[in-house]
Amino acid sequence: MTMSEYELLVVLAEEMNMRKAAERLFVSQPALSQRLQSIEKNWGQPLFLRSQKGLSLTPVGEKVVQFAKEVLLREERVREEIQSLHSEVHGTLKIACASIVGQNWLPQVLKRFVKRYPHAKISLITGWSSEILKALYEDEVHIGIIRGRPDWKGKKIHLFKDPLYLVDQEIVKIDEIGKTDRPFIQFKSDSNYYQQIQEWWHQEFKAVPNRTIVVDQIETCKQMTFNGIGYAILPGITLSKQTEVISKIPLKNEHGQALYRDTWLLGYESSFKLRQVEAFVEVANEFLYDS
């Protein structure tokens, strides 16, 4: 099998539809069908079952497609290693990033990166920290940017501390929370962040908020707070441009120390040897120093 045939099988397995797969591969549907028949003849067994609803993999097909994916991944890694031998940065930088960092910090770093290394490509996925770790474990990305205290055995670089604030249009002191009927606006987050807030709240008030509104996104939480609906606890990374319209009260622990969220850059040692990853780390460190 050629590399293009491996790609053909992977695309078919992803689309499970001859027409859509043909469009992705820029070939006609009859030509794709003929090439698939040739591949199946080579393996001696059908790899896909055809029906009016589309395609489905046979047990043999599942094994062959998995083999094709592994071959393509190995080829990509070899190409990246070859490219990393040269001073010019090529290849694709694959990043998985915590959503809040991907929305508020990473774009500024990537702007510098793409300007300095115009031949490099970027693949970015965002999500919760647990999803970032999963992408790293499954080798879907080169590096991950994660919040909190990651349980990671590979290489780990600390990027920055992000202080936490109680934010509101009316409340100006922490002790006013116990006297207000304004709702606490809370966004859904990973378990580490939720636990950190719960521990601080119990330490300060020994009781649950009088009223609570739960929203699914941090941006929704921020906009509701900025529009005076209630108060929220938000990371400083989200507040850099709008501090003049709200009260921003730093959260402190029982020892009077500021509460914050750590942000880390994670990856396997082999990934940090890639030229595009080395270049990203260099640009990120420069940006942090300039900030």
Residue with tokens 């030229």: 275
What is residue 82's predicted lDDT score, i.e. its pLDDT?
76
User: Residue 39: pLDDT above 90?
Assistant: yes
What is residue 87's predicted lDDT score, i.e. its pLDDT?
57
> Domain count of the chain?
3
In this structure, the answer to whether residues 190 and 226 fall within a common structural domain is yes
- Kindly indicate the confidence band of residue 84, based on its pLDDT and cuts at 50, 70 and 90: low
CB of 113 within 8 A of CB of 120? yes
In this structure, the answer to whether residues 11 and 79 fall within a common structural domain is yes
What is residue 85's predicted lDDT score, i.e. its pLDDT?
63
In this structure, the answer to whether residues 214 and 231 fall within a common structural domain is yes
In this structure, the answer to whether residues 167 and 121 fall within a common structural domain is no
User: Residue 3: pLDDT above 80?
Assistant: no
> What is the value of pTM for the model shown?
0.68
In this structure, the answer to whether residues 169 and 252 fall within a common structural domain is yes
What is residue 289's predicted lDDT score, i.e. its pLDDT?
87
What is residue 70's predicted lDDT score, i.e. its pLDDT?
93
Looking at per-residue pLDDT, the higher value among 207 and 64 belongs to 64
- Show the domain range for 234: 162-260
CATH number, position 179: 3.40.190.10
In this structure, the answer to whether residues 193 and 171 fall within a common structural domain is yes
Give the DSSP H or E segment for 18.
Answer: helix 18-25
In this structure, the answer to whether residues 24 and 144 fall within a common structural domain is no
Could you tell me what percent of the chain has a pLDDT over 90? 60
What is residue 241's predicted lDDT score, i.e. its pLDDT?
61
In this structure, the answer to whether residues 65 and 99 fall within a common structural domain is no
- Going through 17-74 in order, the beta strands assigned E by DSSP cover 48-51, 54-57
CA 33, 37, 43, 48: dihedral to nearest 10 degrees? 50
Instruction: Read off the pLDDT of each residue in 19-30 and give the average, rounded to a whole number.
Output: 93
- Write the DSSP string, 207-271: S--SSEEEES-HHHHHHHHHTTS-BEEEEGGG-TT-GGGSEEEE-B-TTSPBPEEEEEEEE-HHH
Could you tell me what percent of the chain has a pLDDT over 70? 96
Average pLDDT, the chain: 90
At 241-275, the pLDDT tens digits run 655 668 899 999 888 899 999 999 999 999 999 88
